[in-house]
Amino acid sequence: MPIIKILPHPEYCPNGAEVSASAGTSICEALLDNKINIEHACDMSAACTTCHVIVRQGFASLNELDETEEDLLDRAWGLEPNSRLSCQAILAQTDVTVEIPKYSINHAKEVH
């Protein structure tokens, strides 16, 4: 089972975290399954950029980006060459390290 290392993020996991998930699982699903409540305003349908992550290690092991994801990423805050929508980034057998950007573009985020 691959391990996802999440770098510290002030809101979602202040101390960072490591979670394991089955190959074939999206990074977003794995984070949510492990109580790291990353934003996913479109319910993981590849229609927004709120689940944007930057893959610091293991990028090449993920499935390839499709045209829809590439187009959406162009609108993501803090876009980098190793950016992915976590709902579309499917794990293989390799461990990955991800950084959740400090900001996301979500005009409808609810404040609790």
Task: Tell me the per-residue pLDDT of 55-83, one tens digit each, with 9 for 90 and over.
Answer: 999 999 999 999 999 999 999 988 999 99
∠ CA 82-38-46, rounded to 5°:
65
**CA distance linking residue 72 with residue 35, whole number of Å:** 25
For position 102, what pLDDT does the model report? 84
For position 56, what pLDDT does the model report? 98
For position 111, what pLDDT does the model report? 45
Q: Record the pTM.
A: 0.91
- Token pair 């305003």 is found at 41
Count the neighbouring beta carbons within 10 Å of the beta carbon of residue 67. 7
Q: Which fold has domain 3-99?
A: Ubiquitin-like (UB roll) (3.10.20)
For position 16, what pLDDT does the model report? 97
φ/ψ (deg, to 5) at 73: -60, -30
Tokens in use for 2? 């691959």
Listed by start position, the domains of the chain span 3-99
For position 105, what pLDDT does the model report? 67
- H-run or E-run covering 17: strand 17-20
Q: Give the chain's residues under pLDDT 50.
A: 107-112
**CA distance linking residue 1 with residue 22, whole number of Å:** 5
For position 103, what pLDDT does the model report? 73
